[in-house]
Amino acid sequence: MSEPLVLGIETSCDETGVAIVRGSELLTDVTASSMDEHARYGGIVPEVASRAHLEAFLPTLDTALERADVDLSEVDAIAVTAGPGLVGSLTVGAAAAKALALGTGKPLYGVNHVIGHAAVDELVHGPFPERFVSLVVSGGHSSLLLVDDIATGVRELGQTLDDAAGEAFDKVGRLLGLPYPGGPHVDRLSREGDREAIRFPRGLTAGKDKERYAYDFSFSGLKTAVARYVEGYQDRGENVPAADVAAGFSESVAEVLVTKSLAACERNGCDTLVIGGGFSANSRLRELAAEEAEDRGITVRIPPIRYCTDNGAMIAALGSALVRSGAAPSSLDLPTDSGMP
Ligand code: KG4
Ligand code: ZN
């Protein structure tokens, strides 16, 4: 087969994404988001997200086909997020993908959303090296992956034991009275603070935890430490040094993510770290990763931010890699799995 034409569908959270790739060339990527509807609740409301996918799917698909100038009958395969994610949201995308596969007679590939966050980088920065480490960080996940083959050889080295990095930022944003989602606001505020003024704990980096949880993360103790610190000021009726809190907190998260990712590279003989997920917009993470990796001769690849947040391109990219690897398609009764490892 010449380079396969693959349609990718992503509906695991609040973004309805449809993209088309030919091989590893992105033809189009269209996203509709229901974030505005969730912002007033201060968090994602699963029922609202599911309904929004239902309403957005067909217009998003039509726009993608039109922009790529592709007829549905030309598509070689249909890839869809099978998990992890919100069960109702996943179900809408999977039902749509199955209907398209059944209607066109084309094979269906159910794919893992977290691996998709790494896979999308191939569309941007070209072929992957033989082996690399990927850090996937967002509001829902913080995982370290060891990748020998993006389609068939991905192993999870570790993940967060409690909050995801973005989630911790959103919670600290709320503590500091910033709008939801707080991540970008805390990041902006941190640039005005002194990152050495307050030293917050670095989760799972000391003592026995350092070896036992070498590639796992924990941000909930850090979040509690920040809450206690802020409450101390509030109890005394003093102004919270918000910029220093944001800077100290950001430093702790970035340092832990970067240290563990680079240790994973070095111990597994990898000279490339691919970072993905919406949290990779974080300025301190980018800065520290670039600095520390350069010292160790490791290349850091981060796709532009529009491909780091949830989108269809990541699913089309992984679907295309599966087709090219000769992997067997999924059956039409493909189950969704909200807790997919
Ligand atoms: O991947 P994404 O768009 O959605 C999820 O799958 O979660 O990631 C969004 C998460 C949110 O928690 C958001 O606050 C956080 O990433 N985030 C940031 C920044 N930009 C987005 N956190 C810290 N600094 C940023 N610049
Ligand atoms: Zn995601």
Show the tokens assigned to 250.
Answer: 């950001």
Show the tokens assigned to 20.
Answer: 């088309």
Distance 311 CA to ligand 2 centre (A): 8
What letter would DSSP give residue 306? G
User: Strand 272-276 relative to strand 299-301: parallel, antiparallel, unpaired?
Assistant: parallel
Would you state the pLDDT for residue 174?
96
Is 310 annotated in a binding site? The answer is yes
Can you tell me the distance from the alpha carbon of 279 to that of 136, in angstroms, rounded to the nearest whole number? 8
What separation in angstroms does the CA of 155 have from each of 145, 159, 248?
6, 11, 32
Nearest atom in ligand 1 to 279's CA: 16
Provide mean pLDDT across the span 211-225.
Answer: 97
Is 244 annotated in a binding site? The answer is no
Is the pLDDT assigned to residue 216 strictly greater than 90? yes
Residue range 154-199, pLDDT digits in tens:
999 999 999 999 999 999 999 999 999 999 999 999 999 999 999 9
Residue range 274-294, pLDDT digits in tens:
999 999 999 999 999 999 999
Can you tell me the distance from the alpha carbon of 102 to that of 107, in angstroms, rounded to the nearest whole number? 9
Is the pLDDT assigned to residue 325 strictly greater than 70? yes
Query: For residue 315, which of 1, 90, 127 has the smallest C-alpha distance?
Result: 90
Residue 286: exposure state from Cβ atoms within 10 A (0-12, 13-18, ≥19):
middle
Distance 197 CA to ligand 1 centre (A): 25
Can you tell me the distance from the alpha carbon of 332 to that of 334, in angstroms, rounded to the nearest whole number? 5
Contact 161, 218 (CB under 8 A): yes
Q: Work out the angle between the directed axes of helices 242-267 and 220-235 (0-180°, nearest 10).
A: 170
What separation in angstroms does the CA of 78 have from each of 21, 120, 201, 326?
11, 16, 45, 14
**Is residue 303 lining ligand 1, measured as CB closer than 6 Å?**
no
The residue to mutate among 13, 31, 138, having the most atoms of ligand 1 within 8 angstroms of its beta carbon, is 138
Is 120 annotated in a binding site? The answer is no
Indicate the pTM of the whole model.
0.96
Residue range 4-38, pLDDT digits in tens:
999 999 999 999 999 999 999 999 999 999 888 88
The residue to mutate among 279, 310, 315, having the most atoms of ligand 1 within 8 angstroms of its beta carbon, is 279
Q: What is the ipTM of this complex?
A: 0.97
Provide mean pLDDT across the span 44-69.
Answer: 96
**Is residue 187 lining ligand 1, measured as CB closer than 6 Å?**
yes
Nearest atom in ligand 1 to 170's CA: 14
**Is residue 217 lining ligand 1, measured as CB closer than 6 Å?**
no
Contact 33, 73 (CB under 8 A): no
φ, ψ at 197 (rounded to 5°): -65, -40
Residues 6+ apart with CB under 8 A from 277: 117, 135, 136, 137, 138, 141, 142, 166, 308
Show the tokens assigned to 270.
Answer: 């990898």
Residue range 60-72, pLDDT digits in tens:
999 999 999 999 9
**Is residue 278 lining ligand 1, measured as CB closer than 6 Å?**
yes
Delineate the domains of the chain, giving CATH numbers in brackets: 5-120+311-325 (3.30.420.40), 130-304 (3.30.420.40)
Can you tell me the distance from the alpha carbon of 19 to that of 65, in angstroms, rounded to the nearest whole number? 9
Nearest atom in ligand 1 to 187's CA: 24
> For ligand 1, atom 8, which residue shows the shortest CA distance?
278
Contact 273, 134 (CB under 8 A): yes
Is the pLDDT assigned to residue 1 strictly greater than 70? no
Is 112 annotated in a binding site? The answer is no
> For ligand 1, atom 26, which residue shows the shortest CA distance?
282
**Is residue 85 lining ligand 1, measured as CB closer than 6 Å?**
no
